[in-house]
Amino acid sequence: MNSTDLKASLPAAIADRVTSLSLRDRRAIVVLDVAGLSTSERDEIELQIERIVSADDAVDEVSVVMTAERFERQLIAIGSGKGGVGKSTLTANLAISLARMGRKVGLVDADVYGPSQPVIFGTQGQKPEARDNKPIPIESRFGVPHLSMGHLVAPGKALAWRGPMAGNALAQLVEAQWGATELLLIDLPPGTGDVQLTMLQRFKPAGAVLVSTPQDLALIDAARAGQLFDQADVPIIGLVENMAGYACPHCGKLSDPFGSGGVEQAAERLDLPFLGRIPLDHAIRQGSDAGEPPAANGGKLAEPFDAIASQIDAWLSAKN
């Protein structure tokens, strides 16, 4: 068996981390990228490689060389300044679209008092395990590990926490065992309070996406959120208009219950990129409530999320 066949004999998750595998004089030398892995994970993978490779008749000795290119996990904040604008649904679907594009993306539900990501991802009732006193993110069917206070407290339980406790909760989620995850989307709560301040002070995002409905009141709150990011020198990647236009499922007539074009006009006025529109669609709401985010299934409903995710992906590539 040659080195290519030896690598192919490894589980896919391990093979993806093998940057080099050579076979010379019956000695296999495996170079393994262990960036983002804990000590116990590294030991476990090393044992698996030694066991699988040494089982081949052509190998008498296995040497595993570990390397870890240093990388900084990047955070993208998804904020609105106002509740009820569909920010959590947008964040979940953007994360899924980015994962489908090949990004190693995770999601933090930073809305401590009103977590909704367990519902959207269909992971209600699941409890994260812990390693080294840090939670291990919940894996989803959609390739996006995620963590939420909804995974750590009993369903439906109200949290009566003062501000510093909410900030500490955010830190617990961000500092979890994210492994090889390179990009974290932070689903922020409404407003500009303690969670946002903790994030900016301790986990400064690489950039931020602002979400708003077209109505003036939502735009005013989104502008406040934008000012907070400006003051912290966090670049605004762009603005998203959510709940933009509604097609009646019975007659097909189009209407704009929240107005139209307000976010795009605001982006032009503020000299910020306009990333796109998400329609007000009953199927998006239905899928989110059922743990079936539209971006996971492709098709027409996924298109606006994919288009916005592509622009975020391009922004990250240009930045790096």
Residue 160 has pLDDT above 80, yes or no: no
Of the pLDDT bands very low, low, confident and very high (cuts 50, 70, 90), residue 173 is: very high
Task: Say how far apart CA 202 and CA 225 lie, in whole Å.
Answer: 18
**Architecture of the 74-319 domain:** 3-Layer(aba) Sandwich (3.40)
pLDDT at position 57: 87
Give me the residues paired with residue 22 across strands: 29
Which pLDDT score is estimated for 23? 85
- Four-point Cα dihedral 115, 84, 205, 102, nearest 10: 80
Q: Residue 8 has which token pair?
A: 């192919």
pLDDT reading at 259 higher than 70: no
Q: Can 3-67 and 74-319 be said to share one CATH topology?
A: no
In order, the DSSP letters of 210-239 are EEE-SSHHHHHHHHHHHHHHHHTT--EEEE
Residue 99, class by beta-carbon neighbours within 10 Å (0-12 exposed, 13-18 middle, 19+ buried)? buried
- CATH architecture, range 3-67: 2-Layer Sandwich (3.30)
pLDDT digits (tens, 9 = 90+) for 261-304: 778 888 888 889 999 999 888 888 888 889 999 999 888 889 99
pLDDT of residue 161: 63
38 versus 14: the higher-pLDDT residue is: 14
Q: By C-alpha distance, which of 70, 83, 8, 103 is closest to 317?
A: 103
Give percent of the chain above pLDDT 90: 42
Query: How many percent of the chain have pLDDT more than 70?
Result: 88
Q: What is the mean pLDDT of residues 221-226?
A: 82
Distance CA 70, CA 223 (A): 36
Domain boundaries, the chain: 3-67, 74-319
pTM of the model: 0.76
Instruction: Please provide residue 204's backbone torsions phi and psi, each rounded to the nearest 5 degrees.
Output: -60, 120
Between the CA atoms of 196, 201, 205 and 209, what dihedral angle is there, to the nearest 10 degrees?
30
